[in-house]
Structure 1
Amino acid sequence: MILSLRALFIYQAGSKLKNYPHPIIAREGWPFLAIATLVSMLVSVFAGWLWALPLWMITLFILQFFRDPPRLIPPGDNLVLCPADGRVVKVERVTDPYLKREALMVSVFMNVFNVHSNRSPVDGTIKKMWYFPGSFVNAALEKASVANERNALWIRTKSGHDVTCVQIAGLVARRILCYVKAKDKLTRGQRYGFIRFGSRVDVYLPLTARVKVALGDKVSASSDVLAEL
């Protein structure tokens, strides 16, 4: 078992697996999972399995929501990787509201059954961060990009390309977590944040980028390529 876990964190065929300090279950979920498990066990002991069954189902839901597996990272310094699991809900030319430029925007919507760990799409340095409190409309809607609570990162790659990556809270989401700050360096696939219970991530790219996904595509964080710079 130990050898198989170690084997997860090695370089393979030019791709690498990102080694998180908390594999399999995200640390953000540990308190929720502990409480749900304890309550389910107590009800099972004192009231019986019939009464405890709904609580165990909730515990299983929490377990699957906070899963955080390591991912294969494709080689290629010019690749923009998907920052989150989910479904592509928008691919179009827009005005980047953070850098005030014309850009290509790719949006990925995460439902409650997706992995909600957020990972850096590119190698680069964080030039600036923005946080905006807001409302909590359905993250799949277009207005969520400007109306909802959100946290944006301006990342500049080594080759000088600017990429804006935005965490957006959703209808059920009530907490955006971001663990990086301005001047920090990020590597592709590096875990930098988490959004609890349904959300969305917007990525703004230079107009010269070649988008590799289409509307409706299901994508996985770090493993799938959004675009090529």
Structure 2
Amino acid sequence: MGKIKRKLKKIRIHREGTKQLLYGGISIMLVALILWFTIPSCKLPFWIFIAIFSIAYGIVLNFYRAPVRYFPGDDTEKIVVAPADGHVVVIEEIEENEYFHDRRLMISIFMSLWNVHANWFPVDGKVKFVKHFNGKFYKAWLPKASDENEHADTMLTTPDGRDVLCRQIAGAVARRIVTYAKEGEECYIDEHLGFIKLGSRVDVFLPIDSEVCVKMGQHTTGDHTVIAKLS
């Protein structure tokens, strides 16, 4: 069954973008019709409008892609996958005093405007809790963004009892974090944890003895790239 599922790869539009794309498409068509019929002597404004807004619509359409993905391996025990498309901007040991009160390994992935912005669960397990925090909107790649920006924290407990924190962070442009994870529910790699609109970042806090499997600046593919292995 797993092999069959992995062959069924396709691209769809994320549900967070369906209304915006529908209303935006209708608005563009209405304005285009107005320009076509109200300025019959000169079609240049119509074609300029079509060229500019077709490109803009294509960018938004690309942003709301939601590829159907399945982890390429059969064994996900102790595997930590990238929760997002993007590139690695932080790999460091930190003192985490909000939840763990000990040292943790933090791996951060920055998502640009051009990346898929769906977020996946990084590990199999159970959702321990979900918390949302209001905050500022610094550029997402800055170190202080992890603590001071608006963010949502989802604590996951693996089947062997290890806690992994996944933090969705709003950026300078992103103003909406969506989290689908619910406290008490089981979660699995291949499932969506949430979605962040526009450029943003996701931090993963792991046990200090985890094995890092990525390098700084490395590009990641959500739900495919193995970023670490739990000991």
Q: TM-score, normalised by structure 1?
A: 0.89
What is the distance in 2 between the residues matched to 1:63 and 1:108?
A: 22
- Stretches of structure 1 that go unaligned for 5 or more consecutive residues are 1-9
Give the equivalent residue in structure 1 for 2:38: none
What is the distance in 2 between the residues matched to 1:131 and 1:18?
A: 34
Give the equivalent residue in structure 2 for 1:64: 62
* Deviation of the 1:169 alpha carbon: 0.3
Q: Which amino acid aligns with 2:81?
A: L
Q: Which amino acid aligns with 2:32?
A: S
Deviations 1:6-45 (A, max 9, x none): xxxx6328x847989xx51101001111122112212222
Q: Which amino acid aligns with 2:152?
A: N
What is the percentage of aligned positions where both structures have the same residue?
37
Give the equivalent residue in structure 1 for 2:130: 129
Give the equivalent residue in structure 2 for 1:166: 167
What is the distance in 1 between the residues matched to 2:57 and 2:179?
A: 25
Deviations 1:146-179 (A, max 9, x none): 1100001110100111100000000100000011
Q: Which runs of 4+ in 1 moved over 3 A?
A: 15-20
What is the distance in 2 between the residues matched to 1:18 and 1:152?
A: 31
Change (3 A) 1:32 1:82: same
Aligned with residue 27 of structure 2, among 22, 39, 44: 39
Give the equivalent residue in structure 2 for 1:151: 152
Q: TM-score, normalised by structure 2?
A: 0.88
Within-5 A mapping of 1:69-218 = 69-75=67-73, 76=75, 77-96=77-96, 97-218=98-219
* Deviation of the 1:59 alpha carbon: 1.0
What is the distance in 2 between the residues matched to 1:73 and 1:173?
A: 27
Change (3 A) 1:29 1:126: same
Are the aligned partners of 1:83 and 1:189 in contact in 2 as well (CA < 8 Å)?
Answer: no
- Stretches of structure 2 that go unaligned for 5 or more consecutive residues are 36-45
Q: Which amino acid aligns with 2:184?
A: K
Rg comparison, structure with higher value:
2
What is the distance in 1 between the residues matched to 2:129 and 2:13?
A: 30
Change (3 A) 1:186 1:19: farther
Report the number of matched residues. 217
Q: Which amino acid aligns with 1:82?
A: A
Larger strand proportion of the pair? 1
